[in-house]
Amino acid sequence: MTEEPRWQPSQRYPDPAIVALDPSFRRYHLPLSAVERLHHGTRWGEGPVWLGDVRCLLWSDIPNNRVLKWEEETGAVSLWRKPSNNANGHTRDRQGRIIACEHGGRRVVRFEYDGAITVIASHYQGRRLNSPNDVVVKSDGSIWFTDPPFGILGYYEGERHEPELPPTNVYRVDGQSGEITLVADDINHPNGLAFSPDESILYIVESRSEPRNILAYDVDGARLRNRRILVAGQPGETPDGFRVDMDGNLWCGWGMSAAFDGVRVFNAAGAPIGHIHLPERCANVCFGGRHRNRLFMAAAQSLYACYVNTQGVAGG
């Protein structure tokens, strides 16, 4: 492991790590909440998902081929799944089942109530997927996921393979028939994705554009249309995974330099309104806790959290 990122929790309120970039962010900032480090010891933390019924958080440690569990009641951290097939993104469907993207398995899977694993998607038109990265489930039961090749480029986040499909694709799996369809093939290595609160817009990170952008598409049933740039990245900024709150704000894993490491918050118009500074790059986030008002931040080597004055969208 590399040297532990320097971390100094705030001894005062408000926490200076939580910064308003626009006055509108003040309504979401709880002055009596500070950023907490819950765990240190991952190689590349990713894919957090909250399980309210058992009061715990799961998140991926991709290179270590494991999924960890943090318990809200005790703060204990333990293994939830190892090997994990280099699992990355996670979410839950509307029946509470866990959906996972596997780099090593090159598939999207669902964990059933009895512990069985159901393969949701592994091929498209007879060819193997690259390495599914992140996933969301719409209220109609459909599963939407991105498929860049990051897990097959080498042996760090998966197994090296030649791609069989373009590294530009986003897919939808029908919640009733299980049919997989291509919904976008024009994104340079799609990464994190999330729906707006009313599910009329799908946001997707374009992680190999220069600069890196957050795109928005109108959702037309099972199709996407009207591609546009919601957030145009700046040099040194790296958006990754993100989630949306009830007001339509995007809480985005951010980083690649000391000035940007942490979580950047954008309003629905794409304007930056807030930033949560961390001592390392944040890869992905989710909302959890009893009222979905606790933001969990999966960073490179650590797991962080803070309470915010909003709630995450259900299903995120």
240 is annotated as contributing to ligand binding = yes
Identify the CA nearest to 16 among candidates 37, 34, 36, 39. 34
Residues 6+ apart with CB under 8 A from 126: none
Report the SS3 class of residue 58. Answer: strand
Beta-carbon contacts of residue 204 (< 8 Å; ≥ 6 apart):
146, 170, 184, 187, 190, 191, 192, 193, 214, 215, 217
Element (H, E) at 169: none
Is 46 marked as binding a ligand?
yes
Tokens (6 digits) for 165: 């499909």
Give 250-268 as a DSSP string: EEEEE-SSTTT-EEEEE-T
Catalytic member of 93, 240, 245, 261? 240
133 is in an annotated binding site: yes
Q: Is 240 a catalytic residue?
A: yes
Binding site per annotation, positions for substrate: 133, 157
Binding site per annotation, positions: 46, 133, 157, 191, 240
Residues tagged active-site: 240
